[in-house]
Amino acid sequence: MTVPTPERSAAPPPGCPMHAAGAAPLYGAAVADDPHGLYARLRAQHGAVAPIELEPGVEAWLVLGYPELLELTRNEALFSKDSRRWRVPREGRLAADSRLLPMTSWRPTLLNLDGAEHQRLRAAVAETLARVDHRQLRETTEAAADALIDGWGPDGTADLIAQYARKLPLLVFTRLLGLPAETGPRLVELISHFVDSSEKSVRANAEFQAILVDLVRQRRERPGADLTSWLLAHRAGLSDEEAVHHLVVILVAGNETTINWTGNTLRLLLTDRRFRATLAGGRLTVSDALDEVLWRDPPTQNFPGRWATSDTVLGGQYISEGDMLVLGLAAANADPAVLGGPTGGQGTAGNRAHLAWGAGRHVCPAQHPARLIVETAVETLLHRLPDLQLAVPGHELAWRPSPWSRALVSLPVLYSSFTPPRQPDPDFATGSAYVSAPAARPGAAAPTAPERSSWTSAPQTTSSPSGSTRSDGISTGRTPGSATPARRSWWNSLAGWWSGR
């Protein structure tokens, strides 16, 4: 895409009265009640890039166009990930207790850097995540899901957000990162505060990082078979500070995205007439529902951000040096110019050209394990509760008022029967997989022999975990049974702690 020179644009620079008057708030009820309507109105009024307010008096640009978002994410020379370039804080216009700070403050992570340093840190995160065996992750997710479902009461009601989608990822991530089980519920609460930009955002962010500082200290002294230890041992040689901040990235991005993707997929399956047949083994599959959600209601609808390195023009709008540009992921997916999008003629089944994971060098490195966790969570629930149905009309479901996440407040359901959990693969239940040799830090001693673990195996050779994840009719019968006593005992104990049993 050719970017015209600023002189060719008649639009006023941001910060002037004309700009402020046309800016739409990207917070509160407007973005929660009808975000698709908001994006359509902004597109009709301003085109592919629209002026917005993130807080009263804090302006930014929302990139709504699909090609414009690709330009934004691929042109590091014009649009940097370094939030220290943002002119609003430089001009003293961002309050010390602003709800935007947790999501926009600079940290030494792959999210906030460009060029070679970003590549170094991205390699550490991506290669650490690649050490997790996908088949084992699937079985572990299913075991956690079974434990949660088994703990529900006999009244045939549940809230699939509070009792399932919001708890399940932390059951998996708590174990995967080597965190104590009892920290899980508190982490969920803290993440919700700063992702929702609530009044408790700043304090929640500080407490969240304190938990991870302690974890890094412990794993530096006593490494284990977990993501934290592997990240610390990576050849990139991350400092403790870098490791803590990247654990924040993994937990927030992995947990919050997985929660929202799970909840939004279950909502689609329970409310969309085309997908209702899935509950009876219809033609459309859970995998199709996952893809449609990423097009229509991606778990992250907007993401901060990029900062202009110089005056330029994008989408016909004059962008000043230091302006913040927000990635309108949901809006770009709905760009009428995108043939494969929800408004196009090709449909979304099997179409993964969406921008739900971002684009360019900063595309999400955890999308494959996230897909595996969500697909397993949804399939397990629908198998265990085959007559699942909404307990309220679909239009009564409420969304959280977050400018970033597309997340339901609750998803109340009714069911009348349980199907027993399936028998897990004994090869993985006995922990037959092995950890690959850890990458050595520069100047570090040679690694010891590979350590036995049920989490990892040899490096992955498949391009996507979805290839090994069942996506046929979810009502296919499964062999009744449970996991090995030790594994079920661990999961039931942790799930019971979640439920207050």
DSSP secondary structure code for residue 26 in this structure: -
Q: What is the pLDDT of residue 391?
A: 96
- Residue 3 located in a structural domain: no
Residue 137, domain extent: 115-299+360-499
Cβ burial 362-390 (10 Å sphere, 16+ → b, else e): bebbbbbbbbbbbbbbbbbbbbbbeebeb
H/E element, 161: none
Tell me how far apart the alpha carbons of residues 107 and 205 are, in angstroms, rounded to a whole number: 13
- Read off the pTM: 0.78
Whether 209 contacts 216, CB under 8 Å: no
- Residue 328 located in a structural domain: no
Q: What is the pLDDT of residue 195?
A: 57
- Residues near 388 by Cβ (< 8 Å), separated by ≥ 6? 270, 279, 381, 382, 413, 414, 415
Tell me how far apart the alpha carbons of residues 278 and 285 are, in angstroms, rounded to a whole number: 6
- Residue 226 located in a structural domain: yes
Strand partners, 434: 452
> 263 exposed, middle or buried (CB, 10 Å; 0-12, 13-18, 19+)?
buried
> 309 exposed, middle or buried (CB, 10 Å; 0-12, 13-18, 19+)?
middle
The gap from C-alpha 385 to its chain's centroid, in whole angstroms, comes to: 26
Cβ burial 106-145 (10 Å sphere, 16+ → b, else e): ebbbbbbbbeeebebbbbbbebbbbbbbbbbbbbbbbbbb
Tell me how far apart the alpha carbons of residues 296 and 343 are, in angstroms, rounded to a whole number: 10
Q: What is the pLDDT of residue 460?
A: 40
Tell me how far apart the alpha carbons of residues 202 and 190 are, in angstroms, rounded to a whole number: 10
For CA atoms 379, 381, 384, 387, the dihedral sign is negative
- Residue 181 located in a structural domain: yes
- Residue 458 located in a structural domain: yes
Tell me how far apart the alpha carbons of residues 61 and 46 are, in angstroms, rounded to a whole number: 11
DSSP secondary structure code for residue 441 in this structure: P
Task: Walk along the chain (501 residues) and give the pLDDT tens digit of each residue.
Answer: 334 444 434 444 444 433 445 799 998 887 888 999 999 999 999 999 999 999 999 999 999 999 999 999 999 999 999 999 999 999 999 999 898 987 898 888 898 899 999 999 999 999 999 999 888 899 889 999 999 999 998 899 999 999 999 999 988 888 888 888 777 677 767 776 765 556 677 788 788 878 899 999 999 999 998 999 999 999 999 999 999 988 888 887 788 899 999 999 999 999 988 877 666 566 778 888 999 999 999 999 999 889 999 999 999 999 999 999 999 999 999 999 875 444 443 455 567 789 999 888 888 888 889 999 999 999 999 999 989 999 999 999 999 988 899 999 999 999 998 888 876 544 333 332 222 333 333 333 333 333 333 444 333 433 333 333 333 333 333 333 333 333 444 444 434 433 334
* Domains held by the chain: number: 1
Can you tell me which residue has the tokens 């997908």? Answer: 275
- Residue 22 located in a structural domain: no
- Residue 448 located in a structural domain: yes
Q: How many helices and strands, by DSSP H and E, does the chain display?
A: 20, 11
- Residue 62 located in a structural domain: no
Q: C-alpha distances in angstroms, 371 versus 183, 291, 464?
A: 24, 10, 9
CATH number at residue 423: 1.10.630.10
Q: What is the pLDDT of residue 206?
A: 82
Tell me how far apart the alpha carbons of residues 362 and 114 are, in angstroms, rounded to a whole number: 9
The gap from C-alpha 198 to its chain's centroid, in whole angstroms, comes to: 19
